[in-house]
């Protein structure tokens, strides 16, 4: 026993999955499909998808944003947890990936909950602000190019309602953020956002060690 978060060994991870995962068949099929792709590591883990579903349900979220869709696992997770009138504005630049996402959203009967916007996410988010949608979103998931993480955070903070939640993925970056010898641009971007958030009085925060590290920032 310890008052520190335990290290997850392979056998503990297997136990965790065996005793908690309730993965929908469409999510399972999408994960199997994406596993055959070279870029498969971009997909969130199934237990993280389930955790995000719990957050969405806990909040009673309806208006949500996703920054970084890839083949659609995180958006499908959130869409399945949303009520019938819930929506996701889903941002990505790649139709090569999102064509796959759209097929699986359709198979899972949630296609109409997802408003896919193809283009640089900074532009998509700024357009929402220009349309007067600031202070209105319940839940946001940020998981696109790491170099723009701070831009995404600032834009999503504007778009979030007070009490809205921003979830930011990969904040532990395989541990690289904690190794000061590693200074590539992606690591530096995540590290500097983590540092900024630690003292950002606009939000309450927690870094949750699930997947590759997930920061939860609750707008005050
Ligand atoms: N959340 C996804 C999942 O669970 O499967 C994984 C997202 S993947 C790590 C990152 C995605 O961000 C890619 O699909 C990529 O095309 C997209 N992306 C990269 N740069 C972007 C940009 N400037 N604007 C919007 N999307 C971008
Ligand atoms: Ca990610």
CA distances from 158 to 54, 128, 175, 214 (A): 24, 10, 29, 20
Mean pLDDT confidence for 57-69: 98
Please name the residue whose Cα sits nearest to atom 14 of ligand 1.
70
Cβ 152 under 6 angstroms from ligand 1:
no
Residue 22 Cα to ligand 1 midpoint, Å, equals 25
The encoded tokens of residue 36 equal 């055959």
Long-range contacts of 12-19, Cβ-Cβ distance < 8 Å, separation of 24 or more: 16/47, 17/46, 17/47
Sheet holding 214-219, edge to edge: 114-118, 87-92, 63-67, 137-142, 160-169, 214-219, 203-208
Q: pLDDT-based confidence at 40, cuts 50/70/90?
A: very high
Beta strands of the chain (E only): which ranges? 63-67, 87-92, 114-118, 137-142, 160-169, 203-208, 214-219
Please name the residue whose Cα sits nearest to atom 16 of ligand 1.
94
pLDDT for residue 1: 65
pLDDT for residue 2: 80
CA distances from 80 to 27, 153, 188, 211 (A): 10, 24, 34, 20
Residue 68 Cα to ligand 1 midpoint, Å, equals 3
Residue 150 Cα to ligand 2 midpoint, Å, equals 15
160-185 per-position pLDDT tens digit = 999 999 999 999 999 999 999 999 99
- The closest-lying atom of ligand 1 relative to the alpha carbon of residue 98 is 14
Mean pLDDT confidence for 147-163: 98
Please name the residue whose Cα sits nearest to atom 5 of ligand 1.
43
Q: Which residues surround ligand 2, an ion (CB under 5 A)?
A: 143, 169-170
92-134 per-position pLDDT tens digit = 999 999 999 999 999 999 999 999 999 999 999 999 999 999 9
pLDDT for residue 111: 98
Q: pLDDT-based confidence at 206, cuts 50/70/90?
A: very high
Mean pLDDT of the chain: 98
Cα diameter, the chain: 52
């Amino acid at each position: 026993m310890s008052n520190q978060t335990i290290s997850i060994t392979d056998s503990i991870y297997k136990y965790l999955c065996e005793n908690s995962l309730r993965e929908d068949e469409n999510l399972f099929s999408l994960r199997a499909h994406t596993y055959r792709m070279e870029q498969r590591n971009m997909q969130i883990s199934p237990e993280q998808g389930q955790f995000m579903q719990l957050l969405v349900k806990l909040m009673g979220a309806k208006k949500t944003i996703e920054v970084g869709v890839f083949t659609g696992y995180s958006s499908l997770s959130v869409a399945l947890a949303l009520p019938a009138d819930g929506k996701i504005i889903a941002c990505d630049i790649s139709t090569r990936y999102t064509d796959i996402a759209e097929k699986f959203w359709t198979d899972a009967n949630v296609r109409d909950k997802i408003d896919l916007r193809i283009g640089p996410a900074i532009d998509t988010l700024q357009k929402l602000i220009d349309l007067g949608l600031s202070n209105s979103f319940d839940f946001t998931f940020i998981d696109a190019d790491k170099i723009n993480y701070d831009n995404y955070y600032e834009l999503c903070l504007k778009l979030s309602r007070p009490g809205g939640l921003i979830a930011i993925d990969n904040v532990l970056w395989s541990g690289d953020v904690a190794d000061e010898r590693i200074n590539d641009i992606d690591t530096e971007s995540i590290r500097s956002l983590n540092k900024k958030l630690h003292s950002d009085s606009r939000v309450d925060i927690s870094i949750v060690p699930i997947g590759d590290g997930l920061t939860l920032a609750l707008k005050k």
